[in-house]
Each structure stands twice: as C-alpha cells, then as structure tokens.
A = this chain, B = another copy of it.
Amino acid sequence: MSIDAVLARLDADLPAATERLFELLRIPSISTDPAYAPDCRKAAEWLVADLKSMGVGAGLRETPGHPMVVGHVDGDGPHVLFYGHYDVQPVDPLELWDREPFDPELQDTEKGKVIRARGASDDKGQLMTFLEACRAYHAETGRMPCRITFFFEGEEESGSPSLVPFLEKNAEELRADVALICDTGLFDSRAPAIVTMLRGLLGEQITVKGPSKDLHSGMYGGPSRNPIRVLTKILGNLHDDQGRVTVPGFYDGVPELDPEMKAQWDALGFDHSAFLGDVGLSEPAGERDRTALEMIWSRPTGEINGIWGGYTGAGFKTVLPAEAHAKVSFRLVGDQDPHAIRESFRAWVQEQLPPDCTAEFHGHGNSQASVMATSHPAFEQARTALSEEWPEPAAYVGSGGSIPVAGHFKKILGTDAMLIGFAKDDDALHSPNEKYDLESFHRGARSWARILDAFDWS
C-alpha cells in the first residue's frame, strides 16, 4: 500500500476533521476548576466514542480526579503508546478574548488560517492530529499501521495528580515499544522537531528565621540578625562569577553534549539575538562558555523565582523582619539526581547560616531530566518521515521546560518517548485568544500518518 492514498484522504477530509475538532473544543474541559468536572468527563466520553468509531476498543478509566481514556487496537509491527491530554487551562481574563473561548472558529489571519479557541493547540488540536491520521489510515486500509495504545489524560493542566498512580497500577497494560507524546512545538514554521532531551525540575521554598518577632531597626539595627540580609547573602552566593551553580555536587551527572548533537544544533541557525531581543535582552547571561541554545536545552540552572520579606508596601517601614523567604528552582539535565541535589542545597544553605538563624525548607516537585535513546530506530524513521512532510528537515531538539509524563513513561513503564508536536511559539498557550494553525493541524495529521507508516523495527 502507498501512504499517498492516506495522505490524499486526509487532504479531502480536512473540513470534516476540523468540524470534529470543533466538537471537542466546544466542551469546556477546564480541569483545575471543579465546576467543570462534568465537562471533563464529557470530553473523555467524546474521545472514547471517537476511538470506537475507528475500531479501537476504548473506555473511560476512573481515577480520584478526572477519568483517563485508554484504548487499544491491534496491528502489525511495533507497539506504540500515544499520549495527549483533553483538559484545558482556565480562560480568565475573559475580557482579553476576542470571542467566546469555547466557540471555535476558523479565522483568516496575515499568517494564514487559524483555529481559534481554548485548547485549539494545547492539547486538543495536537491530540486530534494523531486521531485523524489513524482514522484516515483505518478508513483507507481497513486496519491500523501498527499496534497502538491510546492514553489520554484529563489532569495535565492541574498537576496530573492521578497520573503516576495510574501508570503504576496499569504498567503492564500501557507498556509499549515507544511512546509518542504530542504536546510540543515545531522548531520553526518550516521545520518540525523531535524533542529528545527534557530538563528536570526541582523546587525549594526556603524560610530563614532570625529574631522571634519583627524588630524596629532604630532599636535593634546593628546587633540583631536580619533574615533578609542573611537570605540575600546566601542566595547571592548561588552562582560563581562564571555563572555556574555553587551547590556542592550540583554538576554530578551533567553530561557533555554529544558532538553529533551539538553539530546538528549549531546547524539549526538559531537566532540568539532575536530570541533574547524579543524579551528586551542583548546578551546571554548564564554560563560563560555556552550558547543560549545549549544553556536552554542541555545545561542545568539555578534560579530564584520569588523572594519576599519585611515591608513591601508603599512608603517605608524600618522593620527588621523575623523571617524572609525565597522560592528557588533548579532545571536538571542528564543524570542529575534531584534528591541528592535537594539534600546538598539544604546543607549548603544551613552551612552558611550565621548564629541565631534557622532555615526551613519545603520541597515543590522534583523530576529528573529525560534523555531519549535516539539510537532506537524509531527516531530516525520518524525524522525521515517528518522531513518528507515539511519544507525543511526535522531537527532533534532539547526543551528547557519539563514535561514530566515523558520521565514517568521511562521510569514506570520502561518506555522511551518521542515528543513530536506542531504548536507554534505564537499559539498563545495558557493565554487569551489561543489558536492552532490550520497548517499545523493538517500537516500534523499527515506527519503522523507518515511516521506510523514508516515504523518498522521488528
């Protein structure tokens, strides 16, 4: 069979496919707000019905939160696990939307046609690219291109509280040769991307305590400890003058970038000036001897994401506060161990405390970095298939952000993930007037058809 017939069917079916996506977009499945729990269930049920319509054995799977959708279909060749999420972000501030967020519309813009609605890109539009590919393949051939497990979550935008327990409980059922995750973006409008490296994330909230109550700096200024001074002194030491994190052992497990990967990244022509210039910056901060792209995709960071203490209102109060606070996070790469770094960071803070001060810590999340085994044949097959669909060849890229599900698949199921998605930087994810380019939706479906058809690593 030639893939051309499937692609032609996807072309012809685009208006109907768009209308199917609109149906799903009309369901306001905001997972973080309990008022929308029935809508989340409705979206899950819509997906079950859609899977069934193309011969997939699918059903709702209850969790303490919103239900999962799991479907299985047999096929020749490898077994892939496809992941997407059907829940969406809240829509406030509603007044910044140009139209009702759950009333999708196809709009003409200067940059082409776009589908405008909450969830159009993140992640309903992306998720549906895969279903449309399967549907066309099934309609054209009467079968699926390979064995597929469909797995849709409804809590991704609210911290995925049920995900790990569900994976642990259903590991046997969900384990596959490779996982496909459609929740990332193109490299640029002409070149698709396969994310092969995802940074991990470790958050710590610190409270430094000194005197037993707030003091007046006239009465006590001089001999009394000031927790803000203590905190700034400590956090001021978090980086050396080369921009490297000074916490002992922090760089244990940080690999040097593979030279082939580095060569490929250098060839991407990433516009560092434009990237920084867009946000009012002119030169990269951070580690002295790294490019911005390297820093974001393959280097760990330590950042202070929040700090507060003392009087922060209008005017002035000469207070010496009893405590001061900060939120610190680390982006992790390679084999950096979040638990070891958490312990080392806490000890590093403790060692710097002067007399009469104590520190309290509260951990916020910890996820290890994910580095995909690109040596698996699926990666090169997918890259070739993507390159055939898009004007420019597909790139292996890193992602500075953290997509914990990829790490969970690896750790719990033992399944490596390929992250392939068709979102654009200007899709306004999580923001008013979210959109998905019709080209992303259409070429995305065609891309999946090509990828699934190319998979052969038996």
Contact = CB atoms under 8 A, between A and B. Distances in A.
A410 to B, nearest CB: 19
Interface residues of A, number: 81
A226 B243 CA distance: 12
A216 B226 CA distance: 31
Contacts of A283: 355-356
A310 to B, nearest CB: 4
A399 B327 contact: no
Nearest to A209: B280
A36 interface: no
Contacts of A326: 228
Interface in A396-450: 399-402
Contacts of A91: none
A223 interface: yes
Given A223-B295, A312-B325, A218 B401 contact: yes
Most buried by B among A222, A287, A321: A222
A175 interface: no
Contact of A238 (B229, B275, B331, B354): B229
B306 A310 contact: yes
A205 B316 CA distance: 9
A381 to B, nearest CB: 28
Contacts of A236: 232-237
Nearest to A354: B285
Contact of A305 (B318, B331, B355, B399): B318
Interface string A194-237: 00000101010100001111011111111111101101111111
Interface stretch (A79-87, A162-170, A249-257, A296-304): A296-304
A329 to B, nearest CB: 5
A326 to B, nearest CB: 8
Contact of A310 (B296, B305, B309, B321): B305
A107 interface: no
A373 interface: no
A80 to B, nearest CB: 26
Nearest to A400: B218
A318 B332 CA distance: 13
A230 to B, nearest CB: 9
A316 B308 contact: no
Contacts of A301: 217, 221-222
A279 B318 contact: no
B308 A307 contact: yes
A16 to B, nearest CB: 35
A320 B303 contact: yes
Nearest to A213: B279
Tell me the dominant secondary structure on chain A's binding face.
Answer: mixed
B222 A292 contact: yes
Contact of A317 (B235, B304, B305, B320): B305
Given A201-B318, A305-B318, A281 B225 contact: yes
Contact of A276 (B223, B228, B290, B295): B223
Given A229-B239, A304-B229, A401 B311 contact: no
Given A301-B217, A329-B318, A364-B315, A400 B222 contact: yes
Nearest to A329: B318
A232 B282 contact: no
A312 B308 contact: yes
Contacts of A317: 305-306, 327
Given A285-B225, A317-B306, A319-B306, A400 B299 contact: no
A284 interface: yes
A47 interface: no
Contacts of A316: 203, 205, 305, 327, 329, 364-365
Interface string A359-378: 00000110000000000000
Contacts of A321: 305-306
A217 B121 CA distance: 21
A296 B223 contact: yes
9 contacts: A222-B295, A223-B292, A229-B303, A233-B236, A235-B236, A236-B236, A285-B354, A306-B321, A307-B324
